[in-house]
Amino acid sequence: EPEVTQTPSHQVTQMGQEVILRCVPISNHLYFYWYRQILGQKVEFLVSFYNNEISEKSEIFDDQFSVERPDGSNFTLKIRSTKLEDSAMYFCASRGGQAVVYGYTFGSGTRLTVV
Amino acid sequence: AQKVTQAQTEISVVEKEDVTLDCVYETRDTTYYLFWYKQPPSGELVFLIRRNSFDEQNEISGRYSWNFQKSTSSFNFTITASQVVDSAVYFCALSPRTNAGGTSYGKLTFGQGTILTVHP
């Protein structure tokens, strides 16, 4: 079964550093998402990406964050100048199309720890 | 705005008991999708079930069943004959109908999650 692949599985970074979280969505999917889950809390929507541009973003997704699909296969989330409160699990997801049969597929997540 | 409420923070049962996880949602959309996800201790999100707002037929899939009632905006999930391996956090989630070029791209709104512990 096709999978969404996220790398790395765990990243530790120093406060103020930039990090790039990488995702390889399912190849024929059209919609791409990033979600965040702070430890012990609910999963929160960050951003959706469709047709090579951001289609929707939450209030969490401020100027510190950016997304890119640089080569048609990878989908990256960049966090500039990380803060302690950015420590969380970050999930990438992709979806094939609009119809109901196209469910979400989540990656296994990247646990980001900012120290 | 969409909202999902899982009033049960934690549930503890003994193996083989049935357990129902409650979910209540709010949305202004007339067409939407409801989901249940499981998050085991390893942290990944495991898709369990999806239901369309226009299909209120309740179903059973193995030990899982769900009760969707549009009139009360509830989408409850039942595990029959629970097992220790069912211990996890369970999330209910809501998504509007995707409308590319319009106003919705299908983001999921999650509830706070219910921690289910099944004791042997």
> Which A residues, 1 through 30, put their C-beta within 8 Å of a C-beta on chain B?
none
Q: Is pLDDT at B117 greater than 60 in this prediction?
A: yes
| Residues of chain B contacting residue A58, judged by C-beta atoms under 8 Å apart | 107
Point out the residues of chain A with pLDDT beneath 50.
100
**Where does the pLDDT of residue B106 fall: very low under 50, low under 70, confident under 90, or very high at 90 and above?**
confident
Q: Which residues of B touch A (CB under 8 A)?
A: 33, 35, 37, 43-45, 47, 50, 52, 91, 93, 97-100, 104-113
- Cα–Cα distance between A114 and A80 in angstroms, integer? 12
Mean pLDDT of B15-44: 93
Of A113, A100, A105, which Cα lies nearest the Cα of A75? A105
**Residue B89 is which amino acid?**
V
pLDDT of B101 over the 70 cut: no
Mean pLDDT of chain B: 90
Contact across the interface for B50 and A100, Cβ inside 8 Å: yes
Is A113 in contact with A14 (CB distance < 8 Å)? no
CB atoms within 10 A of CB A38: 13
Q: Check residues B94 and B105 and name the one with the higher pLDDT.
A: B94
CB contact under 8 A, B105 and A48: yes
